[in-house]
Amino acid sequence: MIDKLRKNNCNELHIRYDADSGCTFVIALNTIYRNKGNGGTRMKNYSSVGEGIEDALRLTNAMTKKCVMIGDEDNGGYSGAKGVIIGDPATQKTPEMLRNYGRFVQSINGRFQTGCDMNISPSDLEYMAEETQYVDGLPSTGLGDGGAATAYGVVVAMKTLCEQRYGSDSLKDRVIAVQGVGSVGSDLVRRLTEEGAEVIVTDINSDKLKSVTDQYNVKAVSPEEIYSVKCDIFSPNACGDVLTTENIEKLNCDLVIGSANNPLAKDLHSVKQMQERGIVFAPDYVVNIGAQVLAICEVEGKSFDYANNKIQEIIQRRLRQISLESSTLYEVAERIVHQEMLRT
């Protein structure tokens, strides 16, 4: 376990079993880079408690990298963190369980600030907020949907890298394959169609997929087909580890730009495999900072417009910065994270 903590830049792990619901609560923190952590809470029916803990650790590492990329001037003094509720959201997510989780968050004494993630909605946060003050993104008082903020940042990244690749930041008539149409992916589809892009979508949830295709009149393919779709941009917006050796071989795109945390199955090896095929991979923790910037701005009392401007400014600046060197974007970004964390 210590090796897993060290590998994921994580030095605190808090676990509580909730006997009332049968769920296990996990909060992972990096309090090395900064002494408090920011990150959403997700709920998932993991195959084991160990799998849930490992996901929390990996996500904390990703959230820490985002805070580094956001930078000292704008990250609010936050490092990375993640909350995980190990349980079945269809049967175990109840108001009382969410209140119990809120009490768990409160017990960390303000060193963990959280909001929405997979299977946790703004309305769920309201139950948590009955027991803790360290929740952002509430429907009544928050700056808005973190998923929409993340989608906005992904579009900013797409335009920035299209300008570098094609000489124009226009997404009109660009073919974009969107994997996953949850809170981020569905808003991304909306934004891309408004930009005039040709969008192809997939999701393992057939109801969500039908809703998006009906609403935006976009083409749908099966989850297996999405990797081989001929497109300009492949955009992973669902679970991590999707860019396996086999799936990368199927890709038929120029750019990979999406919001999914930890999409690389083999880190640099996966990036090099894409590079050999002429595909540019945009580091997820540079592209998907939108929700985190929004949450930090909310805590600091900033406006929605201020947050949006910051999302755009940071993503454009960082992508242009890491594009100036001959290494892959991923290698340059990793080097920046390592150097910045050594300074603490």
Reported as half-sphere exposure (CB side, CA atoms, 13 A), residue 266 has a value of 11
Burial degree of 92 (CB within 10 A; 0-12, 13-18, 19+): middle
Two tokens, residue 315 = 């993503």
b (16+ CB within 10 A) / e for 180-204:
bbbbbbbbbbbbbbebebbbbbbbe
Contact 258, 251 (CB under 8 A): no
* Of 278, 177, 306, 187, the residue nearest 233 (C-alpha): 177
Distance of CA 262 to the CA centre of its chain: 8
In the set 82, 93, 159, 310, the catalytic residue is: 82
Active site annotation includes 82: yes
Q: Which residues are catalytic?
A: 82
